[in-house]
Amino acid sequence: MAKFEYAPAPESRAVVDVAPSYGLFINGEFTESQGGSAFKTVNPATEEVLSEVADASAADVDRAVAAARRAYNGAWGRMSGADRGKYLFRIARILQERAREFAVLETLDNGKPIKESRDVDVPLAAAHFFYHAGWADKLEYAGLGTNPRAHGVVGQVIPWNFPLLMLAWKIAPALATGNTVVLKPAETTPLTALLFADVVQQADLPPGVVNIVTGAGATGQAIVDHPDIDKLAFTGSTGVGKMIARSIAGTRKKATLELGGKAANIIFEDAAIDQAVEGIVNGIFFNQGHVCCAGSRLLVQENIAADVERRLKRRLETLRVGDPLDKNTDVGAINSKAQLSRITELTDAGEAEGAERWDNGCELPAKGFWFRPTVFTGVSQTHRIAQEEIFGPVLSVLTFRTPQEAVAKANNTPYGLSAGVWTEKGSRILWMADQLRAGVVWANTFNKFDPTSPFGGYKESGYGREGGRHGLSAYVTTESNG
Ligand code: TAP
């Protein structure tokens, strides 16, 4: 086993063991993939191979769905909500107990700074299980409709930007409502999902309730196409989301799609500027900008634009880019070579289309996938960098004069996931929240998440909500929604 050490101080050392290879987690145990094929998962900060992971074929997905069906028809389907809740509480507590292990593994496989996996990803994942544990025996009173019942077997496909957290967003509500699960993590970040399988065993969950099938897009497609899946939950790109919607059209499958975004972070002249600059930096550079709700467009009122740009650049010069396992790192590695190429292609297009490019000039490690925090000014609405999701540490700055113009520009994208408003005027916050076509609107803050709040988009950002009472409704049928 390869050993990876975290934290330079000996007293705060935590070590995580990464096995040289992993199988699929089906029916409560690890098993080989039927075709025997595997793929490598790489540490994006060093390009070192971390492990070889089984590549699930359609036949493996079929085995996983059959196991989930047996579990649903068996003990799990008959279990009381109170007993299901106990399993969820147990999982939440184990996640807390093993938090450091999860944080280090997430950082190794994803490239995100350890302070983010430690303080955001893992605690929020545990919080999601605690929150849904509380719902498991109260579904009758959740206002979801008459006689809420599980769908049955749920297929779940998640992306690489918050691997453990997206897994928690998917699995916790599915189990709380009595469904069983077949989940596919992203190809570049399978390791925390496989460690979660270990937690499932530790919590003594009945076999087949949670199945983890690793693989690439073809494995996801096999889940989507499987005839015995009752409901699909997908988080990922709008392109793949559209393909999934087409694949299941006319079938009995229900679906929730959480897709891309191009959020506007809007600063008015009366805002507390330093606080707003902090929010903007967090909004786009948190998790290297690999965030669906990232504030990737800054809309700043024209008369304060020069001041904001100056303060923003000064702040960006203080960001530490580098070793994700260093507790002082602010911006880690780009998750994959493919993602780095996409960011490079779009930023080159930004320059070619005439926007002015600036980066913080920091040194980058020799190995691994890296991109400097970058800001484009003089961006117009038609530029690709103002329209397309870059999913990297790149901010496009546009200006506006009136609130009406800010709303028009903010809404002028195919997406509608999130937005931020910075102003001292309460009435303006309420007016903007009403006008913005975004599922989440933050005021004088950004990137705040809580399991009690529903999260999801308008337009091409998808449909359905995750979190809160609204998120539960996607996992049940009632006498009114069939
Ligand atoms: P995708 O390429 O769409 O991949 C998402 C997942 O779908 C991965 O597990 C992927 O497998 C799988 N997949 C690929 N092709 C598939 C197919 N034909 N059928 C079924 N599954 C398939 O997105 P990504 O690049 O991993 O993630 C980034 C995107 O996710 C961004 O657009 C981001 O905005 C969005 N996102 C949205 C949210 C919310 S809540 N709205 C949250 C996080 C991320 P592979 O990994 O093997 O390709």
Residue range 228-261, pLDDT digits in tens: 999 999 999 999 999 999 999 999 999 999 999 9
Q: Indicate the top mutation candidate among 226, 235, 262, 418 to test ligand 1's pocket, ranked by most ligand atoms within 8 A of CB.
A: 235
Using the mean position of ligand 1's atoms as its centre, give its distance from the Cα of residue 158 in Å.
6
Instruction: Evaluate: CB of 292 within 6 angstroms of ligand 1.
Output: yes
Q: How many CA atoms lie within 13 A of 349 on its CB side?
A: 18
Q: Indicate the top mutation candidate among 161, 170, 262, 340 to test ligand 1's pocket, ranked by most ligand atoms within 8 A of CB.
A: 161
Phi–psi pair at 190, nearest 5 degrees: -85, -10
Q: Indicate the top mutation candidate among 124, 184, 237, 387 to test ligand 1's pocket, ranked by most ligand atoms within 8 A of CB.
A: 237
Does an H or E element contain 246, and which? Answer: helix 238-248
> Mean per-residue pLDDT for 393-416?
98
Using the mean position of ligand 1's atoms as its centre, give its distance from the Cα of residue 217 in Å.
9
Residue range 293-348, pLDDT digits in tens: 999 999 999 999 999 999 999 999 999 999 999 999 999 999 999 999 999 999 99
Instruction: Evaluate: CB of 96 within 6 angstroms of ligand 1.
Output: no
| Integer Rg of the chain from CA | 22
Residue 116 and residue 124: Cα distance in Å, rounded? 11
Residue 356 scores a pLDDT above 60: yes
Q: Which residues are catalytic?
A: 258
**The pLDDT of residue 9:** 44
* Residue 212 burial class via C-beta count within 10 angstroms: exposed 0-12, middle 13-18, buried 19 and up: buried
Residue range 42-51, pLDDT digits in tens: 999 999 999 9
Using the mean position of ligand 1's atoms as its centre, give its distance from the Cα of residue 237 in Å.
5
Distances, alpha carbon 438 to alpha carbons 81, 225, 292, in Å: 34, 30, 12
Residue with tokens 């709380």: 176
Residue nearest ligand 1's atom 23 by CA: 236
Tokens of 155: 């297929």
Residue 248 and residue 255: Cα distance in Å, rounded? 8
**The pLDDT of residue 373:** 98
Using the mean position of ligand 1's atoms as its centre, give its distance from the Cα of residue 13 in Å.
33
Q: Which SS3 state, helix, strand or coil, does residue 265 take?
A: strand
Residue nearest ligand 1's atom 14 by CA: 217
Instruction: Evaluate: CB of 467 within 6 angstroms of ligand 1.
Output: no
ipTM: 0.92
Residue 255 and residue 264: Cα distance in Å, rounded? 27
* Ligand 1 atom at minimal distance to the Cα of residue 243: 18
Q: Band of the pLDDT at 3, cuts 50, 70, 90?
A: low
Instruction: Evaluate: CB of 155 within 6 angstroms of ligand 1.
Output: no
Instruction: Evaluate: CB of 221 within 6 angstroms of ligand 1.
Output: yes
User: Shortest CA distance to 110 belongs to which of 98, 122, 94, 93?
Assistant: 122
Q: Please, are residues 379 and 397 in contact by the beta-carbon 8 Å criterion? A: yes
Say whether pTM exceeds 0.80.
Answer: yes
Residue 182 and residue 165: Cα distance in Å, rounded? 16
Tokens of 381: 């609405």
Residue nearest ligand 1's atom 32 by CA: 237
Q: What is the identity of the amino acid at 124?
A: L
Q: Please, are residues 409 and 272 in contact by the beta-carbon 8 Å criterion? A: no
**The pLDDT of residue 296:** 98
Residue range 196-222, pLDDT digits in tens: 999 999 999 999 999 999 999 999 999
Tell me the β-bridge partners of 53. 22, 39
DSSP 297-342: EEEEEGGGHHHHHHHHHHHHTT--BS-TTSTT-SB---S-HHHHHH
Residue with tokens 């650049």: 313
Instruction: Evaluate: CB of 259 within 6 angstroms of ligand 1.
Output: yes
Instruction: Evaluate: CB of 157 within 6 angstroms of ligand 1.
Output: yes
User: Shortest CA distance to 297 belongs to which of 440, 444, 420?
Assistant: 420
**The pLDDT of residue 35:** 85
CA angle 398, 404, 409 (to 5 degrees): 35
Residue 66 and residue 177: Cα distance in Å, rounded? 19
Across all residues in the chain, what is the average pLDDT? 95
Residue range 141-183, pLDDT digits in tens: 999 999 999 999 999 999 999 999 999 999 999 999 999 999 9
* Residue 416 burial class via C-beta count within 10 angstroms: exposed 0-12, middle 13-18, buried 19 and up: buried
Q: Band of the pLDDT at 479, cuts 50, 70, 90?
A: confident
The DSSP call for residue 286 is: G
Does an H or E element contain 235, and which? Answer: strand 231-235
The DSSP call for residue 415 is: E
Q: Which SS3 state, helix, strand or coil, does residue 427 take?
A: helix
**The pLDDT of residue 462:** 94
Sequence-ordered list of residues with C-beta below 8 angstroms from that of 164, at least 6 positions apart, any chain: 102, 106, 121, 122, 125, 192, 193, 196
Residue nearest ligand 1's atom 35 by CA: 236
Residue 331 and residue 113: Cα distance in Å, rounded? 6
Residue 316 and residue 371: Cα distance in Å, rounded? 13
Q: Count the neighbouring beta carbons within 10 Å of the beta carbon of residue 170.
A: 25
Residue with tokens 């690890």: 30
**The pLDDT of residue 482:** 62
